[in-house]
Structure 1
Amino acid sequence: MHNRRVVVTQRFFDDKTITFLENAGCTVVQAELPAGQADGNLSHDELVTLLQGAAGWIVGHARVTRELQADLPDLQIISRRGVGYERVDLEAAKDFGKVVCIAAGGNDASVADHTMSLMLAAGHRFRETQQNMITGNWSILMGSDLYQKTVGIVGLGRIGRSLVQRLKGFDVQILAVDEDRGDGFVQQNGIELVSLDDLLTRSDYISLHVPLTPETKFMIDASALLRMKRGAILVNAARGGLVDDKALLDALKSGHIAAAGLDVFVSESDPEYKSVTQELIELPNVIATPHAGASTREGLDRTNMVAARCVVAVLNGENPPAQCVVADGRRAG
């Protein structure tokens, strides 16, 4: 049989998925990462050592550069346990005949739940209240309802749509920046499609659900933040880099933005923003989590399996689900 060695550089890889891969004839190798370290912290040489001879790679946040792919000629499939792919050089994958997949559909529910949690926690000032209680101050802080507010959603992809379903019980008005895909979703859910500028000026809560691309980088900059309603709440559980965190820090300190719920930060990819992130997470009106929106037991089990199914399909010479494929170098060959 041809090479079916699969390396997993992600933590929390469940036994059921490992068994699935083994039953498909794969040899599964799980990278042993130091405590507190993710595959995004591994150097080029460390990754080459781990992946030498592997046909499949189930990856987290490692940078999959052209140079790395060139040094891994046996690698056929790069399968992300997640849905972002900005750290993978897709053109290189096509040039080298490799397939790049994402775990589409695996974590939609988990991230949408997490987004709702950030909205509610920010609006009701949970963090600030509990911090006060720890110091003996049990005075009540006035929060804000989500009920009957205007919620702006930037991006009606899988997670954005899952969020819409969860918002139904709050009797909100939903504005969205996206296109009408003609499947009736916008009309059925009473969504008003608007420009980004309109969404910024009208929304009480804004939630971002778009990929990070050159076009979307810093889409929420100082100017956009100033156009937001005074007292509005911003939630970003999508990608660090959609928001200019320096500008957000200023807007929060000035009181123009009431609060923010953040699961992602610019500093994840740009170390120069590390001090900005530290200042943000120390603010009492910021609810912060460490890019953990998809990290539930159930969500990780689902994304593990989607990623694994993509690997097996490619190693079998078949096509993974179309919604999972972001680059297929086999077609270019």
Structure 2
Amino acid sequence: MLDMPTRTAALYGRVRKVVPPMEWAAFSADIDAILDLKEKRDAVILAHNYQTPEIFHCVADIVGDSLALARKAVEAEAEVIVLAGVHFMAETAKLLNPEKTVLIPDTGAGCSLADSITAEDVRLMRARYPGVPVVTYVNTSAAVKAESDICCTSGNARQVVESLGVPRVIMLPDEYLAQNIAAETDVEIIAWKGHCEVHERFTPTDIRELREAHPGVSVLAHPECPPEVVAEADFAGSTAAMSDYVGQAKPRRVVLMTECSMSDNVAVHHPEVEFIRPCNLCPHMKRITLGNIRTALEENRYAVEIDPQVAGRARQAVERMLAI
């Protein structure tokens, strides 16, 4: 194993363009401790694209969007999974790994979309639209997933909707994602009124002002943004799709209409691209820190538990998505 200073220096080389030296000095002790704890505890860290660079590039073993993390969670061979993301992601990891310990470093890392709908709401929607299948975004609680037919992510939503072979579906809970998918398919989509507190704040005016201030900029929007924002953008897609777009198209200048840390994490791999950053912070994602990841591994907190009666049905909805 590399000695601590060499190991830390090598990791800093990955993120030096997005993490100032003064910040790194505050991070290095926790990073060293986490790397040792992962080995000691047979643990793996899954980090969402919205995590900060020192987590995403320096301690995470598996990174990606919600779909990638769900798929990789199934393949995780470690005994302990630490989910550097929000609570519904940790629940999904637990659903797919019921015999393993899944830790969420901060139980307050929630989601405005997950909070916008309950299991009872889904049952009421089923009663109002009998026989119409329910497609539920993974940004929901296990209890909501358990009342659903199949899950989806922003990256596979259209594919999931069209796989059902029906004329209309109920799609919960993100109203804007549902509207953006409805514009791409002939399937009628009945939407809920949930919104992402990060993406709902972007406006078409933001994009027009960015284009005026930064001529030639490529604008990439997340499909949780309002439809009028997506219509103004050059490309719309999941966080994974946006990252792939930057890698393939290599725009000279780009703006990602999504959570702040996404730009930092993609910029690490594409130093030749100028990233304009009019981002919005997700307060829930930012509750995850190196410090509480370290504490999670040291003290085994906070372990995710799901009612077995809920877990079985919720797992089916996730597995149906993964099978497509």
Q: TM-score category by the smaller chain?
A: 0.3 to 0.5
From the two aligned structures, give the one with the greater helix fraction. 2
TM-score by length of structure 2 reads 0.32
Structure (1 or 2) with the larger CA radius of gyration: 1
TM-score by length of structure 1 reads 0.32
